[in-house]
A and B are shown apart, each in its own frame.
Chain A
């Protein structure tokens, strides 16, 4: 009697045909994201790899060496799909519709031998269930990569350096300062000091929800680095509750210039650069002189 692998190998073309039919009839098929030729090619590769793998009669352990190519292809496919924006259902249906095709062929071929059919169906089912787990793992990993990339992008755009006056830079920090973010803040600030030749930088922490010792340490480092570049740094936006916590924690910020608001920091910056902001005297209008 032929083994399962031989039976399936003999029906390779029919399996592919059935599988494609299953996929194309799926209501959720996204022909906007992938052409049917591409799908056909992908499925062909996948089926070839699978049939080669099961020719060793191993249905249980998908981490065995002969399955390497199958899982690799599958991971490839699901990670591409995750990035292209396929839904989990669409990605899952890819493997599960193959299971349907394989089962149909086996039912036809083993019509007169139910015992073998039963065993084979269980084996094939287990195998494809495991493969669909691999698909999901990879799909979710692909999505997580997208999220991580977005996190990076957010931390990059959320640290703008603003030139508020000739020679005065302001840097509003919003959200939590962690090591990675401080690195970006520091790099942006130092670069901008070089670019604009500024000598005063105002770090505004009004948008930082809590200042613990790690955040304070990062702030102190940023201030020291700014000083090394020959610029002076003012920290503004220290709210009353933050001031109390900093004192209780025992953080020494006494040799750093700090202000409660950005406005007072700007005023300090003006006086440090010998600038003065005055209300201009109104010119007397004609009405008054009369």
Chain B
């Protein structure tokens, strides 16, 4: 996979969510992603960034434009130093939440994007990587 351009953004408070979403939109339009796919990725990004703020008090996001087998897409890597997730399978289940929310953030995000990867160690933070291709597949 080739990385064509990248940028990082720090997320520390709720006010950072909107500028961050605009940043993701900017990356999407740069590769000419359609509106539906843009909205999917932005919504997924918004879920993950809210999780980061809520459970880990913020973190850092790496935005990249990647290319693989003549496909281009946007890759987002969310890294935080929060408490981590002890049971990933449970966290990925629809309707499960430790924070009294709908419990759709993680499983919903996985359905919204093309590639989804979650790594977490309790006490050592969480890293979520998502990729969405230009044509949504």
Known: A217-B101, A241-B36, A245-B39. A210 touches B46 (CB 8 A): yes
Interface assignment of B60: CB less than 8 Å from any CB of chain A: no
Of the listed stretches B2-10, B13-21, B61-69, B120-128, chain A binds B13-21
Interface assignment of B104: CB less than 8 Å from any CB of chain A: yes
Contacts of A250 in B (CB 8 A): 94, 104, 107-108, 111
Q: Is the interface of A mostly helix, strand, loop or mixed?
A: helix
Q: Quick one: which of B18, B35, B50 contacts A212, CB cutoff 8 A?
A: B50
Q: Which of B35, B46, B101 gathers the greatest number of chain A CB atoms within 10 Å? A: B46
Known: A178-B14, A212-B46, A249-B111. A217 touches B102 (CB 8 A): yes
Give complex CA distance A156, B17 in Å: 20
Q: Name the CB-closest residue of A to B48.
A: A212
Chain A stretch 219-251: residues in CB contact (< 8 A) with chain B: 240-242, 244-245, 248-251
Q: Name the CB-closest residue of B to A175.
A: B18
Q: Name the CB-closest residue of A to B97.
A: A213
Contacts of A178 in B (CB 8 A): 14, 17
Interface assignment of A169: CB less than 8 Å from any CB of chain B: no
Give complex CA distance A214, B39 in Å: 15
Contact B108 A209 (CB under 8 A): no
Contacts of B18 in A (CB 8 A): 176
CB < 8 Å A-B pair total? 62
Interface flags, B82-109, vs A, CB<8A=1, else 0: 0000000000001000000110110111
Interface assignment of B112: CB less than 8 Å from any CB of chain A: yes
Contact A249 B104 (CB under 8 A): yes
Looking at the assembled complex, report how far the CB atom of B37 sits from the nearest CB atom of chain A, in whole angstroms: 9
Contacts of B39 in A (CB 8 A): 210, 241-242, 244-245
Give complex CA distance A249, B103 in Å: 10
Chain B stretch 1-54: residues in CB contact (< 8 A) with chain A: 14, 17-18, 21, 35-36, 38-40, 42-43, 46-47, 50
Interface assignment of A216: CB less than 8 Å from any CB of chain B: yes
Interface assignment of A211: CB less than 8 Å from any CB of chain B: yes
Q: Quick one: which of B40, B101, B102 contacts A244, CB cutoff 8 A?
A: B40
Q: Which positions in A face B, CB cutoff 8 Å? A: 176, 178, 209-214, 216-217, 240-242, 244-245, 248-251
Complex A-B: 20 CB contacts under 8 Å: A178-B14, A178-B17, A210-B21, A210-B39, A210-B43, A210-B46, A212-B46, A212-B105, A213-B102, A213-B105, A216-B102, A241-B36, A241-B38, A241-B40, A244-B36, A248-B40, A249-B104, A249-B112, A250-B94, A251-B102
* Given A176-B18, A248-B112, A249-B109, 4 extra CB contacts under 8 A: A212-B47, A212-B105, A244-B36, A250-B104
Query: Which are the 9 A-B pairs with shortest beta-carbon distances?
Result: A249-B108, A241-B39, A212-B46, A241-B36, A213-B104, A248-B111, A245-B43, A248-B112, A213-B102
